[in-house]
């Protein structure tokens, strides 16, 4: 059985983690499948938005598999199959799978209806938008294992939460319920677990209707602005605006508005 299911409907791709019996823990096979999936979707011009979710009724992701991935990462044991060997040969796949070291260049929406712990929470943090259910456990437990969150958790958490709240999660290692973090703006929406995927797809459809090059540029500039000076961010903004002004979509949008019809954006 495939550990990642990918469904494309129109311009929206849904990536579903499918190791429900193992709480979608990131074993070598799942890591490799995710890394390959992100690259494939990045290259697919038909796909404009990506939703990442878990199999219905399961944990979103329990982090890296303690029985397989972590021993391979630390060198505690030798690879036992082709997936473990591929991971041992390239530990960077862990960062690609969790979107720390790979950017698909398109909006990613995390649909979190089940617990997201350690690497699972880091995957959620890597998304651009997040829809979550109440009662979901969220946490970064790595310090209890002699490690730190190294898939973006230490770098990103304080960008999404007040520093004191982020530090309690990072240093305490204990999970909290999603509704505890909701007032801090971590989620775009919090809805019942049965509605999480539906609402995530509604967000995805809304984004996918817009001009794809404009969406990609707005996302890129916004993300870059977090780490550069305001002057540099404004320069980058102007550069992308000028580039977009030359596109067919930039002509189509105002024309469709004047003609009172839906625009037909082609990404060109």
pLDDT band at 266 (very low <50, low <70, confident <90, very high): very high
Average pLDDT, the chain: 95
55 and 185 both lie in a single domain: yes
Q: Per-residue DSSP letters for 18-61?
A: --GGGTT-B-HHHHHHHHHHHHHHHT-TT--EEEEEESTTS-SB
**What mean pLDDT do residues 163-190 have?**
96
Q: Is residue 264 part of a domain?
A: no
Q: Is residue 267 part of a domain?
A: no
Given this model, what pLDDT does residue 119 score? 96
Q: Is 142 a catalytic residue?
A: yes
Cα atoms in the Cβ-side hemisphere of radius 13 Å centred on 91: 11
Given this model, what pLDDT does residue 1 score? 67
pLDDT band at 80 (very low <50, low <70, confident <90, very high): confident
Q: Is residue 268 part of a domain?
A: no
| Count of domains observed in the chain | 2
Whether residue 83 has pLDDT greater than 80: yes
11 and 89 both lie in a single domain: yes
111 and 72 both lie in a single domain: yes
pLDDT band at 234 (very low <50, low <70, confident <90, very high): very high
192 and 241 both lie in a single domain: no
What the block records as the tokens of 177 is: 């319920």
Whether residue 16 has pLDDT greater than 70: yes
Given this model, what pLDDT does residue 61 score? 98
Active-site hit among 29, 84, 96, 122: 122
Q: Is 179 a catalytic residue?
A: no
State pTM to two decimals: 0.96
Whether residue 112 has pLDDT greater than 70: yes
Active-site hit among 142, 179, 202, 259: 142
21 and 70 both lie in a single domain: yes
66 and 110 both lie in a single domain: yes
**3-state per-residue secondary structure call for 244-258:** HHCCHHHHHHHHHHH
Its domain, for residue 157, covers 4-208
Whether 35 contacts 93, CB under 8 Å: yes
81 and 182 both lie in a single domain: yes
146 and 35 both lie in a single domain: yes
25 and 141 both lie in a single domain: yes
202 and 221 both lie in a single domain: no
217 and 201 both lie in a single domain: no
* CATH number, domain containing residue 159: 3.90.226.10
Whether 158 contacts 136, CB under 8 Å: no
**What mean pLDDT do residues 210-234 have?**
95
- What H or E segment, with its residue span, contains residue 72? helix 69-74
């Amino acid at each position: 059985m495939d550990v990642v299911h990918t469904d494309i409907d129109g311009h929206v791709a849904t990536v579903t983690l499918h190791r429900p019996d193992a709480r979608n823990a990131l074993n070598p096979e799942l890591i490799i499948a995710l890394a390959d999936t992100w690259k494939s979707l990045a290259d697919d011009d038909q796909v404009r938005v990506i939703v990442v979710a878990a199999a219905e009724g399961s944990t979103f992701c329990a982090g890296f598999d303690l029985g397989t991935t972590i021993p391979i990462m630390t060198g505690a044991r030798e690879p036992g199959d082709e997936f473990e060997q591929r991971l041992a040969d390239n530990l960077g796949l862990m960062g690609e799978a969790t979107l720390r070291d790979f950017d698909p260049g398109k909006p990613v929406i995390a649909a979190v209806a089940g617990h997201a712990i350690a690497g699972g929470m880091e995957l959620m943090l890597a998304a651009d938008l997040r829809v979550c259910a109440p009662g979901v456990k969220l946490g970064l437990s790595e310090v209890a294992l002699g490690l730190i969150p190294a898939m973006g958790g230490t770098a990103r958490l304080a960008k999404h939460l007040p520093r004191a709240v982020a530090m309690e999660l990072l240093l305490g290692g204990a999970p909290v319920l999603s509704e505890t973090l909701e007032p801090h703006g971590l989620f775009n929406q919090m809805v019942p677990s049965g509605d999480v995927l539906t609402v995530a797809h509604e967000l995805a459809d809304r984004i996918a209707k817009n001009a794809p090059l404009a969406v990609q540029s707005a996302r890129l500039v916004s993300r870059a602005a977090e780490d550069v000076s305001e002057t540099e961010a404004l320069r980058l903004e102007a550069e992308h605006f000028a580039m977009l002004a030359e596109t067919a979509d930039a002509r189509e949008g105002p024309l469709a508005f004047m003609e009172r019809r839906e625009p037909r954006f082609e990404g060109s």
